[in-house]
Amino acid sequence: GEDVEQSLFLSVREGDSSVINCTYTDSSSTYLYWYKQEPGAGLQLLTYIFSNMDMKQDQRLTVLLNKKDKHLSLRIADTQTGDSAIYFCAESRSSGSARQLTFGSGTQLTVLP
Amino acid sequence: EPEVTQTPSHQVTQMGQEVILRCVPISNHLYFYWYRQILGQKVEFLVSFYNNEISEKSEIFDDQFSVERPDGSNFTLKIRSTKLEDSAMYFCASKEGRNEKLFFGSGTQLSVL
């Protein structure tokens, strides 16, 4: 079955870049997503990439997709303390008339002052 | 910006009781979902709903669970007889079209005592 894997923890210094990595197994994935979850809050869609793209940039966020290796990464430039949160990678797959997401376990990003 | 709204934000119930979790998806969206996240675990798919019927459900979504879209705006998840292991954060999500991105609500934290 499909699976999405992420490392559990990442610590960076404020002002540095953060890179959160994700691997997935489903080659039929169409969209890949990055969600942010702050303590006690819901899932905030940060960015997403369609599977026929290699890269997407959105302000401080850069998503890289290596479809051959089924590897997705999220780079946050100039990381701030407000970026501390859990970041979830998710992939969507086709399932009949609906598509549902498979999530990774989340990466806890800690930004140190 | 339109958002998915969930109520209540917290629900405490006794084991064996019925609970109804409510969601108001974004108004022009056609696809609706429930996910849950047990503390410390992955976000898991429960059910997808389109055209007034369930499109797909996971093995978690057993006979104790049901979903309903009673009117043009609400989408509810009912748990008939709650168990301790139903304690989790329940997320509602919706999207406009089949190939569109998924928006999540802020979740309902369900605690079964």
Residue of B59, B65, B64, B74 lying closest to B27 (CA atoms): B74
Which chain A positions have a beta carbon within 8 Å of B107's beta carbon?
41-43
Euclidean distance between CA atoms A32 and A93, whole angstroms = 9
Q: Is B96 an 8 Å CB contact of chain A?
A: no
Q: What is the pLDDT of residue A27?
A: 75
- pLDDT for B36 beyond 90: yes
Q: What is the pLDDT of residue A92?
A: 82
Euclidean distance between CA atoms A89 and A87, whole angstroms = 7
Give me chain B's average pLDDT, please. 92
Euclidean distance between CA atoms B113 and B95, whole angstroms = 33
Q: Is B56 close to A35, i.e. CB distance below 8 A?
A: no
**B53-84 pLDDT per residue, tens:** 999 899 999 999 999 998 878 999 999 999 99
Euclidean distance between CA atoms B26 and A5, whole angstroms = 30
Q: Is B34 an 8 Å CB contact of chain A?
A: no
Q: What value does the mean pLDDT take over residues B32-45?
A: 91
Mutant choice from A100, A101, A103 vs B, greatest count of B C-beta within 10 A: A100
Q: Is B111 an 8 Å CB contact of chain A?
A: no
Euclidean distance between CA atoms B84 and B76, whole angstroms = 20
Residue of B94, B75, B104, B102 lying closest to A32 (CA atoms): B102
Residue of B47, B23, B31 lying closest to B96 (CA atoms): B31
Mutant choice from B47, B96, B104 vs A, greatest count of A C-beta within 10 A: B104
Q: What is the pLDDT of residue A2?
A: 66
> CB–CB of B89/A39 below 8 Å?
no
Q: What value does the mean pLDDT take over residues A78-92?
A: 94
Closest residue in chain A to residue B54, using alpha carbons only? A98
In sequence order, what are the residues at sequence separation of 6 or more whose Cβ sits closer than 8 angstroms to the Cβ of residue A80? Answer: A14, A111
